[in-house]
Amino acid sequence: MAIAKLNEICDDSSSSQDILQLFDDKCFKVISGVDTGAEFCLGDFAFPVDGEQCISLSAEMAGGEITLFDNEILTIGSPVTDLIQNKIYVRGILLKVTYPVNDDNGEEIDIVDKSVELWIEDAETLTYKKYNLYNLFAMFTNPKSNDPTDLINRIKIVNPNSLFNVKVSGLIIHGKVK
């Protein structure tokens, strides 16, 4: 059995596919036809912010990658042991990856081909962990800590598909070491 294209899942009223959707009450809810199922609400989320940066980028080549931020926890080949006082570090990111409907040849993109790689570099070991993701919306927040091993050092997005570009949007949250 083939996996349906995204528009077939969302637009076909005869489909039994449930949908996860964000509502005005700050809650993600699972919708099954006209019924609402499980929900996950963000109404009580708060995080300290000393600065912010909005980004909007495109991964435009086969194997193309974009580094979203780099906390530069590596100095002369080894991780730092102390964060620098009054320096701003990335403490969190809200991230969204959007795919086009059609590829560069005008063909509708199959849902199985809508996959980017999210690479997260650990600040303690400075090694990357790769996650293959579909329709990405994510929020990462580091603790309000002065321990460099508590931080994500770097996040990058890789678009392995040569037939279409993806749009990467995000809000990067900065925090100052005090």
Is 132 found in the same domain as 57? yes
Say whether both 158 and 73 belong to one domain: yes
**What's the domain range around 16?**
6-41
What proportions of the chain, in percent to the nearest 5, are helix, strand and coil?
A: 5, 50, 45
Distance of CA 75 to the CA centre of its chain: 27
169 class by beta-carbon count within 10 Å (0-12 exposed, 13-18 middle, 19+ buried): middle
Per-residue model confidence as pLDDT tens for the chain (178 residues): 344 444 444 444 555 678 778 888 888 888 887 788 888 888 777 777 887 777 776 665 556 888 888 888 876 566 677 888 888 888 888 888 888 899 889 999 888 888 888 999 888 777 889 988 877 777 888 777 788 888 888 899 888 888 888 888 888 888 888 7
**Is the domain of 87 the same as that of 129?**
yes
pTM beyond 0.85: the answer is: no
Residue 141 pairs in a beta bridge with 92
Q: CA 95 to CA 36: how far, in whole Å?
A: 25
In the chain, how many domains are there? 2
